[in-house]
Amino acid sequence: MTAQLVSSSKPRILTGDTPTGSLHLGHWVGSVKRRVELQDSHECYFLLANMHAFTTRSEDPLGIRRDTIEIVRDYLAMGIDPNKAAIFLQSEVPAIAELTFLFAMLLPFNRVMRNPTLKTELELKGLSEKFSFGFPLYAVGQTADILSFRPVGVPVGEDQVPHLELTREVARRFNQMYCSVPTDAEDEDHEKLGGVFPVPRADVGRVGRLVGIDGKNKMSKSLGNAIFISDSPKEVQKKVNKIFTGRQSATEPGDTSNALFQFVDCFIADEARVAELKDRYSRGDNIGDGHIKAELSEAINALLTPMRERRAQFEGRDDLIVDIVHDGTARANRLTEQTLLRAKDAVGLKFWPRTLAM
C-alpha cells in the first residue's frame, strides 16, 4: 500500500496544524473541510507540527504531546480517514529538519522577518520583546514541511498565504541555484526543467478567515476566542451568545457584515433562510440578536453532532491514535527520504543512500 502511495499518480497535497490547542470551527471551514473533500482524489499528507509548537510553548512539553493526540482525535471526528490520508509527526520526519537547515541559507534574514503573518503573531501572542531565535525559524521550517512532500497544493486558511509565498520563493531559488532551472521559467515548468521542487500553490477554502467570538481577531486556538470541535452543545450555545455585535434592540437596523452574520453565512446552510434573516436584521424588523444566536447554535450543533459521534469511538483510545500516526509517519518518511536524497544530490551532499527504520 505504501509503495503505491509514494508512486501514486494522484496529485499530492500537504497541510497541517500546530498542537497549540484543539481544533476549532476556523480549522474546519478554512482547511479541514477541504481536506476531507480531497482525500479521495488526492494523495494526502497531514502534518502535526509538534516541533513548531515549541516556538511558543517550550515550557509545556506535556501539553504539546496531549494536544498532538487531541488534534488527531479532531481529524478523525471531522472525517479524515487514516486509510486514505497519512497523518504524521513532524518530529519523526528527519528530512524536514535537514531541509530546514539547507533552506535557511536560501532566505535573507530580513526577508523572513518581513513576513506579515509572523509580525501579526508576534504582536497578538505578546512575543515582541522575548521571542526565541526558533520563532522566526518556524517560517523557514514550514517551507521544508511543505517542500519535503513536493506537493502541488496546500489547503490552508488565508493567514498562511505569506508562508506559502516564502515556500514558493525557496522552491524557485533552489531549482535555479542547484538544478539549472532558468530564472525566467514559469512556476509550473520547474519540475519539467529538472527542478527538484514544484512551486506549490496555496489552496484557500471558501472561508479563508473565520472571525473569533470576540468579533475582532481570527478565530485562533491560542487567543481564547474559539468554538472547538470538541465543545459540548451547551458550550457552543454559551460561546455563540458571547458574539459581540453592539446592537441594542430588535428594532435597531443591524449591520449584516458584523461578526454574527459572518458565522450565519458560514454555518446556516439554508440560503433562503440566511437571506430572510439578513433582510429583517438590516431593517430592524423585530428580530433580536438572541433569536439569531439560537438558530446559529442549532446549526453549529447540527454540524458537530456527527463529529461528536465519531470522536466518541476514539475517546480513551490513545493507543489507536498512536498506531495511526506511526503508520502515517512511516509513509511520510518513505516519500521525504526520496526528496531529501534528490535535494542532497543537487547540492553535492549525496555520498550514500540511507534507510530509516521505525
Query: Which residues make up the interface to ligand ATP (CB under 6 A)?
Result: 17-18, 20, 26-27, 29-31, 156-157, 159-160, 208-210, 218-222
Instruction: Specify the residue, 219 or 332, whose C-beta has the smaller distance to ligand ATP.
Output: 219
Phi, psi for residue 262 in degrees, rounded to 5? -65, -40
Q: Which of 314, 303, 324 is nearest to 229 (CA)?
A: 303
- Quote the Cα angle for 229-231-235, to 5°: 140
Q: Least Å distance between CB 135 and ligand ATP?
A: 12
Q: Least Å distance between CB 342 and ligand ATP?
A: 27
Q: How far is CA 160 from CA 50, 92, 154, in A?
A: 17, 23, 10
Instruction: Specify the residue, 208 or 328, whose C-beta has the smaller distance to ligand ATP.
Output: 208
> Quick check: 49 and 93 in contact, CB under 8 A?
no
Instruction: Specify the residue, 20 or 329, whose C-beta has the smaller distance to ligand ATP.
Output: 20
Q: Least Å distance between CB 93 and ligand ATP?
A: 17
Grid coordinates of 294: 439560537
Q: Least Å distance between CB 117 and ligand ATP?
A: 9
Q: Which residues contact 316 (CB under 8 A, 6 or more apart)?
A: none
Q: Least Å distance between CB 215 and ligand ATP?
A: 13
- Measured from each CB, the residue nearest to ligand ATP is 30
293-297 CB contacts, 8 Å cutoff, 24+ apart: 293/240, 293/241, 293/243, 293/260, 295/264, 295/268, 296/240, 296/260, 296/263, 296/264, 296/267, 296/268, 297/233, 297/236, 297/237, 297/240, 297/241
Instruction: Specify the residue, 12 or 27, whose C-beta has the smaller distance to ligand ATP.
Output: 27
Instruction: Specify the residue, 159 or 289, whose C-beta has the smaller distance to ligand ATP.
Output: 159
Q: Least Å distance between CB 95 and ligand ATP?
A: 21
Instruction: Specify the residue, 92 or 159, whose C-beta has the smaller distance to ligand ATP.
Output: 159
